[in-house]
Amino acid sequence: MLRKHESKSENHRAVDKHPEEKIKPMSDQVKSKQRVTDHGEVFTSEREVNAMLDLVKQETERIDSRFLEPACGDGNFLAEILRRKLAVVKRKYRKSPIDYEKNAVLAATSIYGVDILQDNVDACRARMFEIWDKEYQAILKKEINEDCRKAVRFILSRNIVCGNALSLKKVDTYGKDIDELIVFSEWAFVTGFNLQRSDYTFDRLLDGDKEGRDLFGKEKQTKPLQPVQQSLFDGAKTDKPDDEGKFVGKYISHYRRVQKNG
């Protein structure tokens, strides 16, 4: 789900920090002047990240609540969301290894990010997996499953993508749009341990007849935006195209083997 209030603009990104660290000075919010000039890349401070997420605190603590950060940088918003979700998984399911594992996977499936720079995407994926894997190994210890770890890596590779969130197209090494659409994957557990992946493109949202709608096909509001939850996949529950997403394909497998459907 996209929290409209949590992404101020494409040039506000998050700095890689842990809660126990002090807030870094503003100078650490910029990787280089050239990146600021070329891409408007300025990282958001930890205090702002947590203040914005606290506006939707209840949703950040729902394991299956979806978030999309359209300018995710190296993932500070997404990392904090994942930490909050995993804390809930730990509190609820730590005594049941299989339930913990399944819900930890569910938490990973619910977080999405787009960034125009491939190095940020690579760093975000690695960072998210490190957070997930550290918790996973700490809870399950000798019961960890390598296929499950590979599955989460794959899920993150599908959910954190390199592209232009404004045009919904993928980009080249220079950050320029190419003629290939971003594909988003919706994940849902079905019949026990089977995880269903449904892929959609959202190019139809950019059609002229969609004027007056926001990124996810909702009619634009005339009053100031409130912290409202909106689904990336609202209405996209069937195998045929609709007004919000164009269906690409569907795959169903045990959640530990989703990577087999790459």
Predicted confidence at residue 258, as pLDDT, reads 98
Domains of the chain, by residue range, sit at 4-183
Give which of 115, 120, 44, 52 is closest to 84, Cα–Cα.
52
Q: Give the model confidence (pLDDT) of 107-152 as tens digits.
A: 999 999 999 999 999 999 999 999 999 999 999 999 999 999 999 9
* One-letter amino acid of 146: E
Return the number of other C-beta atoms located less than 10 Å from residue 114's C-beta. Answer: 25
- Number of alpha carbons in the 13 Å side-chain half-sphere of residue 139: 26
Predicted confidence at residue 50, as pLDDT, reads 83
Residue 222 in this model has a pLDDT that exceeds 60: no
Predicted confidence at residue 262, as pLDDT, reads 81
The residue with tokens 């996973």 is 136
Q: Which of 5-9, 90-94, 107-111, 196-200 has the lowest mean pLDDT?
A: 5-9
Which of the four pLDDT bands, split at 50, 70 and 90, describes residue 206? Answer: low
Residue 231 in this model has a pLDDT that exceeds 70: no
Do you know the residue count of the chain? 262
Residue 193 in this model has a pLDDT that exceeds 50: yes
Residue 199 in this model has a pLDDT that exceeds 50: yes
Predicted confidence at residue 252, as pLDDT, reads 97
Residue 160 in this model has a pLDDT that exceeds 70: yes
Q: If DSSP codes are grouped into helix, strand and coil, which group holds residue 222?
A: coil
**Burial bucket for residue 178 (CB in 10 Å: 0-12, 13-18, 19+):** exposed
Residue 13 in this model has a pLDDT that exceeds 70: no
Predicted confidence at residue 3, as pLDDT, reads 41
Which of the four pLDDT bands, split at 50, 70 and 90, describes residue 232? Answer: low
Q: What angle do CA 116, 160, 189 make, to 5 degrees?
A: 155
Q: State which of 8-22, 143-157, 172-186 shows the largest mean pLDDT.
A: 143-157
Which of the four pLDDT bands, split at 50, 70 and 90, describes residue 161? Answer: very high
> By the 8 A CB rule, do 80 and 68 touch?
no
